[in-house]
């Protein structure tokens, strides 16, 4: 099975900061990666699919990049509503979530 | 709009069984694969199971293989998760979710229901 490693596990940042979260796959998964945002007590919200495609309605400050084994989620200018936990998802005939990254107030 | 509403969660003793249900609306249920995803208390997301659009194939996480069974009734727009031999580590929020689809692209998980809570305790 393909393993996913997401980093960092926690990220302390301030409003306006540029934030980057990384997911690495143990072997190539082409572009079959999605990113989600989750707030406490809520279901995950899709941000990015196919590594870099922005889900409809998601602010353009969110972007995804990468292919093969290394992928990044970037928030260009962190907003108050963005403090949450973020997960990547591999969907390459198996479905595996990353460990999660909690973005907290610095 | 798409809606997924789970039910059936509750408190169950270790070793016992429980069946979760999910009713879908707002899309053609019989044309989409469906997933169950869970989240233990304070933990990350864990994919649990998938069933094909027509129910002819399914896949499971190793942690539940042989104990859980995913099924669907396309005539009723219903998805189920039959959970047997429950363990303490099976506790958490269980989400019903649809296969994501945009144009010709599909495969990710979206949208999600609000979740149903399963507690395993004696």
For chain B, the residues whose C-beta falls within 8 A of a C-beta of chain A are 35, 37, 44-47, 50, 59, 95, 100, 102, 105, 107-115
Chain B touched by A95 (CB under 8 Å): yes
CB A55 within 8 A of CB A47: yes
* For range B102-106, the mean pLDDT: 86
CB contact under 8 A, A87 and B44: yes
CA-CA distance, B90 to B10, in Å (whole number)? Answer: 12
Interface size, chain A vs chain B, as Cβ–Cβ contacts under 8 Å? 55
Find the CB nearest A89 among B95, B105, B109: B109
Give the mean pLDDT of chain A. Answer: 96
Q: What is the pLDDT of residue B50?
A: 97
Q: What is the pLDDT of residue A30?
A: 87
Percent of chain B residues past pLDDT 90, beyond the cut: 95
* pLDDT, tens digit (0-9, with 9 covering 90-100), for A47-85: 999 999 999 999 999 999 999 899 999 999 999 999 999
- Chain B interface mutation, best of A2, A44, A52, A85, highest count of B Cβ atoms under 10 Å: A44
CB contact under 8 A, A99 and B46: no
Q: What is the pLDDT of residue B24?
A: 98
- Chain B interface mutation, best of A49, A54, A99, A101, highest count of B Cβ atoms under 10 Å: A49
From the list A22, A53, A67, the residue with the least C-alpha distance to B105 is A53
CB < 8 Å to B113, chain A:
43
Percent of chain A residues past pLDDT 70, beyond the cut: 100
Question: What is the DSSP secondary structure assignment for residue B87, as one 8-state letter?
Answer: -
| Number of Cα atoms under 13 Å in the Cβ half of residue B54 | 1
CB < 8 Å to B107, chain A:
32, 91
* For range A11-36, the mean pLDDT: 96
CB A70 within 8 A of CB A89: no
* For range A26-47, the mean pLDDT: 95
* For range A85-99, the mean pLDDT: 94
Per the structure block, which two tokens stand in for B49? 């199971």
Find the CB nearest A87 among B45, B105, B111: B45
Q: What is the pLDDT of residue A1?
A: 83
Q: What is the pLDDT of residue A93?
A: 83
* pLDDT, tens digit (0-9, with 9 covering 90-100), for B107-122: 999 999 999 999 999 9
* pLDDT, tens digit (0-9, with 9 covering 90-100), for B28-73: 999 999 999 999 999 999 999 999 999 999 999 999 999 999 999 9
Q: What is the pLDDT of residue A29?
A: 86
Chain B touched by A34 (CB under 8 Å): yes
CA-CA distance, B52 to A32, in Å (whole number)? Answer: 18
């Amino acid at each position: 099975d393909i393993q996913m490693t997401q980093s960092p596990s926690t990220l302390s940042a301030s409003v306006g900061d540029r934030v980057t979260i990384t997911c690495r796959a143990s072997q190539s998964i082409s572009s079959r990666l999605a990113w989600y945002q989750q707030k406490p007590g809520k279901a995950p919200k899709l941000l990015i699919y196919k590594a870099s495609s922005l889900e409809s309605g998601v602010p353009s400050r969110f972007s995804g990049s990468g292919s093969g084994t290394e992928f990044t989620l970037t928030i260009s200018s962190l907003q108050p509503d963005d403090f949450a936990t973020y997960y990547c998802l591999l969907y390459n005939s198996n479905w595996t979530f990353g460990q999660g990254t909690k973005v907290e107030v610095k | 709009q798409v809606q997924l509403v789970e039910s059936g969660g509750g408190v169950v003793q270790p070793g016992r069984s429980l069946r979760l249900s999910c009713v879908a609306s707002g899309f053609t249920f019989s044309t989409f694969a469906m997933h169950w995803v869970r989240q233990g208390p304070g933990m990350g997301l864990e994919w649990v199971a998938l069933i094909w659009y027509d129910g002819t194939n399914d896949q499971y996480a190793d942690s539940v293989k042989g104990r859980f069974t995913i099924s669907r009734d396309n005539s009723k727009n219903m998805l189920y998760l039959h959970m047997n031999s429950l363990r303490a580590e099976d506790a958490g929020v269980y989400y019903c979710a649809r296969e994501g689809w945009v144009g010709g692209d599909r495969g990710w998980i979206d949208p999600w229901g609000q979740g149903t809570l399963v507690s395993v305790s004696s």
